[in-house]
Amino acid sequence: MTTSFKTILAGAALALALTTSAFAARTDLTLGVALEPPHLDPTAGAAAAIDEIVYANIFEGLTRIGSNGAVQPALAESWSLSDDGLTYTFKLHDGIKFHDGTGLDAGDVVFTLDRARADDSTNAQKGLFSAIESVEAVDDLTVRVTLSRPQGSFLYNMGWGDAVIVAPESADTNKENPVGTGPFKFDNWAKGSSATIVRNPDYWGEPVALDTATFRFIADPAAATAALLAGDVQAFPNFPAPEAVPQFEADPRFAVVIGSTEGETILATNNGKEPFDKLEVRQAIAHALDRQAIIDGAMFGLGTPIGSHFAPHHPAYVELVETYPYNPEESKRLLAEAGYPDGFKATLKLPPPSYARRGGEIVAAQLREVGIDLEIIPVEWAQWLDQVFKAKDYDLTIVSHTEPNDIGIYARDDYYFDYHSPAFKAVMAELDITADEDQRYALLRKAQEIIANDAVNGFLFQLAKNGIWDANVEGLWANSPVQANDLTEVRWKD
């Protein structure tokens, strides 16, 4: 073969390879995610990025949180609760195998739960297991969990990513080589670049439609836009560049689905520090906030205003945005009443995300209108955790709390809001022991009202989930009630 013929052949092969990759995407999907997880064991770290790859795909728990935020059975086929509300008996499905071939039995459940609540456990959500007194295997497929006190949220807690069931044979190496029971198996993790999962042919439940799924880690908004447009990724469940969304809405090749997340973005206020310990001052701040302006300016119009610390997509949500409506005059009046007719000076510490940095400038401008002069101090996450979260050395800060159903943090005495309300704690205590759904919803509504009326923090907006994917892909979640990318229902339309 002559050199030129070889070159032509190589060039043709290259061109063919580049084009055929576009047609081969019928049972494989490449998704873009903004953050790379530090490792792949959801029971050993808090990073949401871990669950975004493994939850419901590689690992499963006794229960599972579905796309509407409701508890569904997973590894447990059914369960029963004793009359005193203290003992759960779970019946597991038969024939479940881990990806390394070992079978799942009640012993693995006992191992997982005991490991999570051990003294030296590094589980980031140890509180989920705090009510468990003992776990025992009644027989191979039945587990009895005894609580020390009734806990209404127990079934929901067992659906968290931190409560997935692991095997003693593989638990120590799950960070690098995750072994679970899910419909997908771990295939490869090219650090810094991508992680790939493949279909598990021995899955105990409904088979999934996809053969392979690759998660590519693309943090830069411009790179994310380019990757979607060039077809390198076919789906971006949470697209990091809201400013580029209109471009995709106008493009018929893409479907844009804006949903909501569990991220309550708040103007966190140090309730223990002057002048924020006065209710009038906090009410004044609430009256000075124009939420829509913040959403439009910081999030390009994508986000839902909130009036309390609760997700709007939840059935128990109460509309409380108008508790202290936007009214700068009322704000100035309240400040004068509280003893600050000329306003006061304070600091606003802002962590790196754009909802904080951009939103912070708008909030500062709005508060300046009523006389509150804010000095903006940008900080890194590590500094934020040290200064604001641990040492409570702050006046105001903007942060988004993305853990699901975390309104209970307002009952914690040592939390960085420094908010102490006996009424709220009473509601939370009762919620803890209530299992009946309607009663729980009523208590949750009351909880939202208490913290809204107390204006504990400035409740800004719920983070939107900007989902952009190829118009031929279906089954990706619109909302994000848990931080996960559940691929079990995803398929390409034919």
Partner 1 sequence: MLSYALRRIVIVLITLLAASVIVFAVLEIVPGDPARLMLGMNATEDTVIALRQQMGLDQPVLVRYLAWIGGMLTGDFGRSYTYSVPVIELVRERLVVSLPLALMALVLSTVIAIPVGIFSAARRGTAADAGVMAATQLGIAIPNFWFAILLVYVFAVMLRLVPAGGFPGWQAGFWPALVSLLLPAIALALPQAAILARVTRSALLDVLGEDYIRTARAKGLPANLVLRRHALRNALIPVLTILGLQFAFLLAGTIIIENVFYLPGLGRLVFQAITQRDLIVVESVVLLLVATVVIVNFLVDLAYAWADPRLRRR
Euclidean distance between CA atoms 111 and 136, whole angstroms = 10
Q: In 53-131, where do the E strands start and end?
A: 63-65, 71-73, 76-81, 87-92
Nearest distance from residue 331's CB to partner 1, in Å? 30
Nearest distance from residue 126's CB to partner 1, in Å? 6
Q: Which of 216, 224, 222 is nearest to 192 (CA)?
A: 216
Euclidean distance between CA atoms 430 and 444, whole angstroms = 10
Using rule CB under 8 A, residue 220 touches partner 1: yes
Using rule CB under 8 A, residue 270 touches partner 1: no
Using rule CB under 8 A, residue 211 touches partner 1: no
Which amino acid, one-letter code, is at 217? F
Nearest distance from residue 352's CB to partner 1, in Å? 8
Nearest distance from residue 378's CB to partner 1, in Å? 14
Using rule CB under 8 A, residue 277 touches partner 1: no
Question: Given candidates 94, 187, 386, 437, which one binds partner 1 under the rule CB under 8 A?
Answer: 386
Residue 89 forms beta bridges with which residues? 80, 144
Nearest distance from residue 204's CB to partner 1, in Å? 30
Nearest distance from residue 232's CB to partner 1, in Å? 5
Are the C-beta atoms of 192 and 102 separated by less than 8 Å? no
Question: Given candidates 25, 47, 86, 377, which one binds partner 1 under the rule CB under 8 A?
Answer: 47
Using rule CB under 8 A, residue 8 touches partner 1: no
Select the span of 150-158, 300-308, 387-395, 480-488 touching partner 1 (CB under 8 A): 387-395
Using rule CB under 8 A, residue 382 touches partner 1: yes
Structure tokens at 310: 């609760």
Euclidean distance between CA atoms 231 and 468, whole angstroms = 12
Q: In 82-153, where do the E strands start and end?
A: 87-92, 132-139, 142-147
Are the C-beta atoms of 104 and 111 separated by less than 8 Å? no
Are the C-beta atoms of 404 and 262 separated by less than 8 Å? yes
Euclidean distance between CA atoms 448 and 455, whole angstroms = 11
Around Cβ 242, how many Cβ atoms within 10 Å? 19
Question: Given candidates 8, 9, 12, 190, which one binds partner 1 under the rule CB under 8 A?
Answer: 190
To the nearest 10°, the Cα dihedral for 422, 423, 424, 430? 100
Using rule CB under 8 A, residue 123 touches partner 1: yes
Q: Which of 492, 494, 19, 487 is nearest to 215 (CA)?
A: 487
How many residues make contact with partner 1 (CB under 8 A)?
52
Nearest distance from residue 192's CB to partner 1, in Å? 3
Using rule CB under 8 A, residue 491 touches partner 1: no
Using rule CB under 8 A, residue 121 touches partner 1: yes
Nearest distance from residue 323's CB to partner 1, in Å? 26
Q: Site map for partner 1, 357-376, x if CB under 8 A?
A: --------------------
Q: Which is nearer to partner 1, 34 or 56 (CB)?
A: 34
Using rule CB under 8 A, residue 257 touches partner 1: no
Using rule CB under 8 A, residue 207 touches partner 1: no
